[in-house]
């Protein structure tokens, strides 16, 4: 049976909770975790009490995994290479996002290698001895062997390396929460892999003229992440917006009034248009089963496509709050980063550098257009704008300041050979003066000179947009990059 999980603003760790019942969260399949435990069968006749002791530990491990927000496919306890082959086949068929191998005691690498080879799935090796230390005065050989799960870790690592298989491990003791924190981090990373390899990314309109860093090879998105890119026309949105009734517009305006403070600068005609486009966007996303959307259209002389492009901000922000990130300026790689950030419960709002403040040593960053409402420090504002800087059209825009506290900037960069790279940096949003121009803005302290941060961040391979995520989550992103087989780069002022 396939379970599903939901991802929305209310589930963003540390995020601002929106009023319940107003936004329907995006439903996705659960992360699939394969689990197999084992030890060397030659021990069982020698030490009759050992197997039951190890199986008790294995049941504890299974229960801990079942308590997580994931589907657990338990392949049981293996004792030899034949058992391993059967477990490998079961896990191959299950199409897991991560396979966890619990080394309950020593076992041979021939019992682990086929699991990784057959499944073509990332493997995490865990070795959790029963307690912090043995009771040396009373233990016999059989009791010692229950603490011997660390022994084969270098062996398995060596064989994986020779087989060209990435090796990952967590060592600790059974009830050590520090070890379980590290294990759960890998489960979060598996959630990113699960989300991206099944994702359908909408790409609508055309690239913002001249933004060479934004241009993305669609084939490489599928070959790197397993995602599908659905190429859309603005006419796909137009026909759905045309079908929106006046009653649906009034209902959407009422919803927006519950979620936003509506500034006096908002013209009712523009508010109604943004609401109508919002309903059309919902239908577009549903009809094409989209997990994210990146868009841009320039338009001309007030014609309908220009009006559609200018009316996207309200609907895009509502979709992002539901766990369906929207990125303007045709920024497909940033919408992917926003989706990955959402998958680990960190939100992720469309962001770029706006200015530097050398008195306070902060980088001011944000963006016009779509925003993740869960990262707002207060009730978000709808502001009316007669001009969108650098873009055609006019209408309503979302404005708020990001809540103070730890944040991570996270984007998908690209190298000269075309390979993608996950790029992160960790800082702290601090209070202070911000512009009130219909943008989402923040002041981020990266622990040093902001000019130096810009220089080092810009050398990482990042483009000029990224996701601003809540919490210090670089380690989670690094783990996700490992499972996806891509490089992770972290920028820190040290």
Rounded CA-CA distance 237/337 in Å is: 24
pLDDT at residue 402 tops 90: no
Average pLDDT over residues 359-387: 85
Residue 483 lies in a domain: yes
Give which of 36, 44, 39, 34 is closest to 147, Cα–Cα. 39
In contact, 330 and 206? CB cutoff 8 Å: yes
pLDDT at residue 436 tops 80: no
Tokens of 154: 């270098």
**Backbone angles phi and psi of 99, in degrees to 5:** -110, 130
120 plus 209 within the same structural domain: no
CATH of residue 116: 3.40.50.10940
Residue 15 lies in a domain: no
Task: Among 148, 164, 189, identify where a domain stops.
Answer: 189
pLDDT band, very low/low/confident/very high, at 7 (cuts 50, 70, 90): very low
Domain count, the chain: 2
DSSP assignment of 443-459, as one string? EEE-SS-HHHHHHHHHT
Residue 6 lies in a domain: no
176 plus 208 within the same structural domain: no
In contact, 315 and 280? CB cutoff 8 Å: yes
184 plus 204 within the same structural domain: no
208 plus 98 within the same structural domain: no
| Percent of residues, the chain, with pLDDT higher than 90 | 78
What is the reported pLDDT for 112? 97
Query: What residues pair up with 338 in beta bridges, in sequence order?
Result: none
pTM of the model: 0.92
pLDDT band, very low/low/confident/very high, at 393 (cuts 50, 70, 90): low
217 plus 338 within the same structural domain: yes
pLDDT at residue 493 tops 50: yes
What tens digit of pLDDT does each residue of 85-105 get?
Answer: 999 999 999 999 999 999 999
Residue 281 lies in a domain: yes
What is the reported pLDDT for 2? 39
Rounded CA-CA distance 415/465 in Å is: 16
pLDDT band, very low/low/confident/very high, at 9 (cuts 50, 70, 90): very low
Give which of 14, 6, 10 is closest to 403, Cα–Cα. 14
Rounded CA-CA distance 112/339 in Å is: 33
318 plus 183 within the same structural domain: no
272 plus 226 within the same structural domain: yes
Q: Which domain holds residue 66?
A: 27-189
266 plus 309 within the same structural domain: yes
What tens digit of pLDDT does each residue of 209-232 get?
Answer: 899 999 999 999 999 999 999 999
85 plus 211 within the same structural domain: no
Rounded CA-CA distance 176/127 in Å is: 12
Rounded CA-CA distance 82/86 in Å is: 7
Q: Is 230 helix (H, G, I), strand (E, B) or coil?
A: strand
pLDDT band, very low/low/confident/very high, at 376 (cuts 50, 70, 90): confident
In the sheet where 326-327 sits, what is the strand order? 228-232, 200-205, 292-296, 326-327
Q: Is 160 helix (H, G, I), strand (E, B) or coil?
A: helix
pLDDT at residue 438 tops 60: yes
Task: Among 154, 189, 224, identify where a domain stops.
Answer: 189
Task: Among 157, 189, 221, identify where a domain stops.
Answer: 189
What tens digit of pLDDT does each residue of 54-84 get?
Answer: 999 999 999 999 999 899 999 999 999 999 9
Residue 111 lies in a domain: yes
40 plus 110 within the same structural domain: yes
Looking only at the bridges linking them, the beta strands covering 405-414 and 261-262 are: unpaired
pLDDT at residue 5 tops 90: no
What is the reported pLDDT for 24? 84
185 plus 211 within the same structural domain: no
The residue to which tokens 């500034």 are assigned: 263
Task: Identify the helix (H) or strand (E) that includes residue 224.
Answer: helix 218-225
Residue 11 lies in a domain: no
Residue 315 lies in a domain: yes
CATH of residue 380: 3.20.14
Work out the number of other CB atoms within 10 angstroms of the CB of residue 215: 13
What is the reported pLDDT for 8? 38
Residue 21 lies in a domain: no
What is the reported pLDDT for 10? 40
Across the chain, what does the average pLDDT equal? Answer: 92
159 plus 204 within the same structural domain: no
What is the reported pLDDT for 189? 97
Residue with more model confidence, 360 or 399: 360
Rg from Cα positions in the chain: 25
pLDDT at residue 16 tops 80: no
The residue to which tokens 């508010």 are assigned: 271
Q: Is 169 helix (H, G, I), strand (E, B) or coil?
A: strand
Tokens of 190: 């598996």
């Amino acid at each position: 049976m396939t379970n599903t999980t939901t991802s929305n603003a209310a589930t963003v760790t540390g995020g601002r909770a929106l009023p319940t019942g107003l936004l329907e969260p995006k439903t996705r399949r659960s992360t699939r975790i394969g689990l197999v435990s084992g030890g060397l069968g030659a021990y069982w006749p020698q030490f009759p009490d050992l197997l039951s002791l190890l199986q008790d530990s294995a049941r504890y491990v299974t229960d801990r995994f079942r308590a997580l927000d994931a589907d657990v496919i338990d392949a049981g306890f293996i004792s030899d290479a034949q058992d391993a082959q059967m477990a490998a086949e079961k896990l191959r068929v299950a199409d897991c996002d991560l396979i966890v191998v619990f080394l309950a005691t020593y076992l041979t690498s021939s019992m682990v290698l086929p699991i990784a080879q057959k499944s073509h799935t990332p493997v995490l090796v865990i070795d959790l001895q029963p307690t912090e230390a043995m009771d040396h005065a009373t233990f016999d050989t059989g009791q010692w062997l229950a603490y011997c799960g660390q022994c084969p870790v270098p062996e398995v690592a060596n064989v994986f390396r020779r087989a060209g298989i990435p090796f990952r491990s967590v060592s600790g003791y059974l009830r050590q929460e520090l070890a379980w924190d590290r294990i759960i981090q890998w489960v979060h990373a598996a959630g990113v892999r699960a989300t991206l390899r099944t994702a359908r990314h909408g790409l609508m309109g055309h690239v913002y003229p001249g933004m060479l860093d934004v241009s993305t090879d669609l084939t490489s998105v599928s070959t790197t992440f397993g995602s599908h890119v659905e190429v859309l026309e603005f006419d796909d949105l137009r026909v759905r917006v045309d079908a929106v009734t006046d009653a649906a517009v009034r209902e959407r305006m009422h919803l927006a009034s519950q979620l936003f403070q509506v500034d006096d600068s908002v013209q009712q005609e523009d508010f109604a248009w943004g609401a109508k486009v919002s309903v059309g966007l919902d239908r577009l996303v549903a009809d094409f089963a989209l997990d994210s959307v990146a868009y841009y259209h320039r338009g001309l002389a007030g014609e309908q496509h220009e009006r559609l492009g200018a009316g996207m901000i309200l609907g895009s922000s509502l979709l992002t709050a539901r766990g369906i990130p929207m990125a303007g300026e045709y920024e497909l790689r940033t919408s992917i980063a926003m989706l990955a950030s959402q998958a680990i419960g960190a939100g992720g709002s469309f962001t770029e550098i706006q200015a530097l403040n050398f008195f306070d040593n902060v980088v001011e960053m944000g963006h016009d257009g779509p925003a993740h409402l869960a990262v707002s420090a207060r009730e978000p504002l709808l502001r009316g704008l007669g001009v969108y800087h650098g873009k055609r059209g006019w209408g309503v825009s979302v404005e708020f300041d990001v809540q103070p506290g730890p944040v991570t900037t996270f984007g998908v960069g690209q190298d000269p050979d075309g390979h993608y790279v996950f790029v992160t940096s960790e800082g702290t949003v601090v209070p202070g003066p911000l512009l009130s121009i219909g943008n989402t803005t923040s002041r981020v302290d990266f622990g040093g000179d902001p000019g130096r941060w810009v220089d080092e961040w810009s050398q990482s391979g990042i483009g000029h947009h990224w996701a601003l995520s809540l919490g210090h989550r670089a380690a989670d992103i690094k783990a996700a990059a490992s499972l996806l087989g891509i490089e992770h780069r972290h920028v820190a002022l040290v």
